[in-house]
Chain A
Amino acid sequence: MPAIEVRNLSKVFRVSEKEPGLGGAFKSLFRRKFRTVPAVSDVSFDIKEGELVGFLGANGAGKTTTLKMLSGLLHPTTGTASVLGFEPWKRKPAFQKQFSLVMGHRTQLWWEIPAQETFRLNQEIYEIPEADYKRNIDELVDLLELQDCLSIPVKKLSLGQRMKAELAAAILHRPKLLLLDEPTIGLDVVMQKKVRQFILEYNRRYKATVLLTSHNMDDVSELCPRILIIERGRLLYDGALRSVVERYAPFKLMRADFSGDVVTADLERIGKVLENRGPSATLEVPRHDVSAKAAELLSRFPVVDLTIEETPVQEVVRRLFIAGGKSGA
Chain B
Amino acid sequence: MRKYLHVFSISLQNVLQRRASLLMDRVGGLAAFLAIYFFWSAVLGSKDAFLGYSRAQMLTYVLAMNLLRAFVFTGRGWELVNEISSGKISSYLLRPISYIGYTLSLDMAQKTVHLVSAVLEVAVLVYLVGAPVYVPQRAETWLLFAAATAASSLIFFLLEFMVSSLAFWTSQSGGPLFCFELFLQFAAGTFFPIDVLPAGLQAALRMTPFPYLVFFPINIFLERVSRGEAAKLLLIQGCWLAAIFLATRLVWARGLKSYAAEGG
Question: Are A96 and B264 neighbours in the complex by a CB distance under 8 Å?
Answer: no
- Which residues from B are CB-within-8-Å of A314? none
Q: How far is the CB of A97 from chain B (nearest CB, A)?
A: 6
- Which residues from B are CB-within-8-Å of A277? none
| Stretch from B12-20, B118-126, B201-209 contacting the other chain | B12-20
Take A121-B6, A124-B2, A124-B6 as given contacts and tell me if A93 and B262 are in contact as well, using a CB distance cutoff of 8 Å: no
Question: Are B95 and A125 neighbours in the complex by a CB distance under 8 Å?
Answer: yes
- Which residues from B are CB-within-8-Å of A89? 260
Complex alpha-carbon distance, A117 and B14, angstroms: 10
- 14 A-B residue pairings within 8 Å (CB atoms): A13-B262, A73-B93, A74-B261, A74-B263, A74-B264, A89-B260, A91-B93, A97-B96, A106-B90, A113-B13, A113-B17, A121-B3, A125-B95, A126-B96
Question: Are A73 and B90 neighbours in the complex by a CB distance under 8 Å?
Answer: yes
Complex alpha-carbon distance, A56 and B97, angstroms: 32
Complex alpha-carbon distance, A236 and B93, angstroms: 31
Query: Counting CB contacts under 8 A, is A8 at the interface?
Result: no
Q: How far is the CB of A122 from chain B (nearest CB, A)?
A: 7
- Which residues from A are CB-within-8-Å of B91? 106-108
Question: Are B6 and A72 neighbours in the complex by a CB distance under 8 Å?
Answer: no
Question: Are A117 and B90 neighbours in the complex by a CB distance under 8 Å?
Answer: no
Proximity string of chain A (56-79) to chain B, C-beta cutoff 8 Å, 1 when within and 0 when not: 000000000000100111110000
Question: Are B10 and A117 neighbours in the complex by a CB distance under 8 Å?
Answer: yes
Query: Counting CB contacts under 8 A, is B113 at the interface?
Result: no
Proximity string of chain A (97-127) to chain B, C-beta cutoff 8 Å, 1 when within and 0 when not: 1001100001110101100010011101111
Q: How far is the CB of B140 from chain A (nearest CB, A)?
A: 38
- Tally of A interface residues using CB under 8 Å: 29
Proximity string of chain B (1-31) to chain A, C-beta cutoff 8 Å, 1 when within and 0 when not: 0110011001001100110000000000000
Q: Which of A97, A117, A121 has the most CB of B within 10 A?
A: A121
Query: Counting CB contacts under 8 A, is B87 at the interface?
Result: yes
- Which residues from A are CB-within-8-Å of B2? 124
Closest 7 CB pairs of A and B: A93-B96, A73-B264, A108-B91, A124-B3, A74-B264, A124-B6, A75-B260
- Which residues from B are CB-within-8-Å of A93? 96
Take A106-B87, A106-B88, A121-B6 as given contacts and tell me if A72 and B14 are in contact as well, using a CB distance cutoff of 8 Å: no
Question: Are A126 and B95 neighbours in the complex by a CB distance under 8 Å?
Answer: yes
Take A73-B260, A106-B87, A113-B13 as given contacts and tell me if A101 and B96 are in contact as well, using a CB distance cutoff of 8 Å: no
- Which residues from A are CB-within-8-Å of B7? 121, 124
Q: How far is the CB of A160 from chain B (nearest CB, A)?
A: 20
Q: How far is the CB of B130 from chain A (nearest CB, A)?
A: 41
**What is the chain B residue whose CB lies nearest that of A108?**
B91
**What is the chain A residue whose CB lies nearest that of B258?**
A75
